[in-house]
Amino acid sequence: MYTINQSTTVDTGSSASPIPVGINENVKFMGLEKKADKNGKPYLSFMFQDSDGNSLMHNEFEVNPQYVTPKEGETTEDAVNRRVNSMLVRIKHICTQFISTEQFVVTGNSFEEFCTNLVALMANKDYSKLLKLKVVYNYRDYNSLPNFTPFVEAQDKQPSSLEISPKYDKMEIAAKEATAEVASSTEDVLPF
């Protein structure tokens, strides 16, 4: 049943690394796909690759109202609509790098239908244009795209609209931030 022999090969080639945190140049958009999670629910997966072969996959899932926390004075419905709109803005921001905003019209009566229609609309587009891509750490310290635009633009766009905002963009993993904070503290202000 289980056998390891000379025909069992081990791939010792370079493993894929994520696109580094920061503003990266000469990034290629590798395409988008409609996928299904372990429960069979659809999601969109956008793939990027930098000139060193590092990759980043950005996924967009249907907004689940059970996991949306309204801001003060906001109804749950308003909060869900805000989250859906943010997702749609991110999707449009990526896709309109390769299709004009006038041509970029996509609808769906369900998230699954929306995903299917978006993938169909973007099929056979020319993805050869090089990009600048802003990558930050997410709340779990994984390399990811920011929640808010702009985070992608044409490589040749001048001046660039991409910038790192210390207030909003997480550029260090949490453990490094804590170590740096303790290292820069004086002994007499530490609580222990």
Q: List residues bridging with 57 in a β-sheet.
A: 47
Local structure of 90: helix, strand or coil: helix
| Per-residue model confidence (pLDDT) at position 5 | 75
Local structure of 112: helix, strand or coil: helix
Instruction: Show the tokens assigned to 181.
Output: 């904070």
| Per-residue model confidence (pLDDT) at position 106 | 96
* Residue burial 133-151, b: 16+ Cβ < 10 Å; e: rest: bbbbbeeeeebbbbeebeb
Q: How far apart are CA 41 and CA 24, in angstroms?
A: 32
Q: How far apart are CA 155 and CA 158, in angstroms?
A: 9
Residue 44: which of 129, 97, 117 has the closest Cα? 117
Q: What is the pLDDT along the chain (192 residues), one digit of tens a residue?
A: 676 777 776 665 556 689 999 999 999 999 999 999 999 999 999 999 999 999 999 999 999 999 999 999 999 999 999 999 999 999 999 999 999 999 999 999 999 999 999 999 999 999 999 999 999 999 999 999 999 999 999 999 999 999 999 999 999 998 765 555 555 555 555 555
The DSSP secondary-structure symbol of 18 reads B
Residue-wise pLDDT tens digits, 68-119: 999 999 999 999 999 999 999 999 999 999 999 999 999 999 999 999 999 9
- First-residue to last-residue Cα distance in the chain: 57
| Per-residue model confidence (pLDDT) at position 2 | 73
| Per-residue model confidence (pLDDT) at position 187 | 56
Positive or negative, the Cα torsion across 52, 131, 36, 68? Answer: positive
